[in-house]
Amino acid sequence: MSDLDLDPIIHAQSRLRVVATLAALPVGDRITFPRLQSLLDMTAGNLSTHLRKLEDADYVLVTKAHEGRRPTTSIELTPRGRLAFETYAATLTALLGGGSS
Amino acid sequence: MTHDDAPHSSQLDVGDDAPLDPAESLRIIAAQTDKVRATQVDGRVLFGVWGVAWLVGYLALYLTAEGHLPGGSSGPGGLLLPATWAYIVFAALIWTAVAVTIVYSIRVGSGVRGVSARTGAMYGWSWFIAFAGMGTIIGGLVNLGASDEIVSLMSNSLACLVVGIMYLAGGTFWQDTRQYILGIWIILVAVVALYAGLPGAFLVMAVLGGGGFLLGALGDHLVRTTRTTRTARSRG
């Protein structure tokens, strides 16, 4: 097993941080863009860019809605994204376990 | 939100960020999990504020009724009554605890939508509905001609029963054993307080009830510190 087995969509610092944060939320929860941004300390533009890549891969679902007059954007991990993250984490553990032997 | 088209490297390019090794990846996952967990409900805040409210509030009622603090009086039938100032302190503490709970819950839940938010809202309303029902039942007892002693004891015990049942429900729902145990404990306190009679019920509520919440806060604190130590060790 090598680094090549790691999902390239997730295996990049910023996107890994985004996906790990979303995966830490309870299943079925969405988080608003500003709240996610504050958990990540990323600029809005940077976060948008990475979210779009994750959205293209069908790993996250971005929902735009109105609460009263205020437009809100909320983000959640799709089942496909959660599976990809869990597979990624399992591969990491296997890589580290295998690396020491 | 702006979807600006900042220049970035091509799709799926691993190198669009600092390079990662597996150990670094695991550290990032652990750090973000901790960060999210730190924004979730801190049991120490809620157990703590209720523990202090019950301990101090009920203690003031007990000590003035027993004459250890001034202001208490004797009611009909030799019943010992707490001082008016003690009731004011008690009410102020309970309302402060209610306010802290509501403001804290809203702050924790802000920015999160979906299942948790809906569950939290329904659970919050359950408290309100249960206490409204309880208040109405007490009103009914008054109308039926129940004595001051019965009304006073039943108000305490029923309130305690409602709190206990809500903790059982919360513990069940969030699979939180500490909360569930606290629910059982508070229901026991409700029973013991009723049988203790007045003014002993106030002491039971203060020490066993308030003390129970404070033990819950301490338990939460211990679990958090061991969890943090464990995470720190696994990262090191």
Closest to B146 measured CA to CA, from B138, B156, B158: B138
Domain ranges of chain A: 8-91
Q: For B20-53, how does the pLDDT look when each residue is reduced to its tens digit (9 = 90+)? A: 888 899 999 999 999 998 888 888 999 999 999 9
Spatial CA neighbour of B15 closest among A88, A33, A11, A67: A11
Task: Determine the Cα–Cα distance for residues B160 and B158; give it in Å rounded to an integer.
Answer: 5
At residue A71, φ and ψ (nearest 5 deg) are -75, 135
Q: What is the mean pLDDT of residues B60-84?
A: 87
Nearest C-alpha of chain A: how many angstroms from B213? 26
Residue holding tokens 């039943």?
B154
For residue A27, give Cα distances in angstroms to A81, A83, B66: 12, 12, 53
- From chain A, the residues in CB contact with B26 under 8 A are 89, 92-93, 96
Count of other CB atoms within 10 angstroms of residue B133: 12
What's the pLDDT at B17? Answer: 60
For the CA atoms of B171, B177, B180, B186, the dihedral, rounded to the nearest 10 degrees, stands at: -140
Q: From the CA of B30, how many Å to the nearest CA of chain A? A: 8
What's the confidence (pLDDT) of residue B9? 38
Tell me, what's the pLDDT at B109? 83
Chain-chain contact of A96 with B1 (C-beta, under 8 angstroms): no
As a whole number of angstroms, the distance between CA A9 and CA A77 comes to: 14
Domain assignments of chain B as residue spans, ordered by start? 40-235
Tokens of A64: 């735009």
Task: Supply the CATH classification number for the domain A8-91.
Answer: 1.10.10.10
Helix (H) or strand (E) holding B26: helix B22-38
Contact A32 B6 (CB under 8 A): no
Q: What is the mean pLDDT of residues B110-123?
A: 88
pTM: 0.80
| pLDDT tens-digit map of B138-161 | 999 999 999 988 999 999 999 999
pLDDT of residue B227: 76
The residue type found at A25 is L
Q: What number of C-beta contacts closer than 8 Å exist between A and B?
A: 112
Check if the beta carbon of residue B100 is closer than 8 Å to that of residue B48: no
In this prediction, residue A33 carries a pLDDT of 95
Residue B10: predicted pLDDT: 40
pLDDT of residue B192: 97
* Omega within 30 of 0 (cis) for the link into B199: yes
Using pLDDT thresholds of 50, 70 and 90, give the confidence band for residue A89.
Answer: very high
CA distances from B228 to B33, B35, B176, B193, B219 (A): 12, 12, 18, 38, 14
For residue B97, name the pLDDT band (cuts at 50, 70, 90): very high
pLDDT band at B80 (very low <50, low <70, confident <90, very high): confident
- Is residue B217 pLDDT above 70, yes or no? yes
Higher pLDDT residue, B234 or A95? Answer: A95
Mean pLDDT for B71-85 is 83
Interface check A9 vs B, CB under 8 A: yes
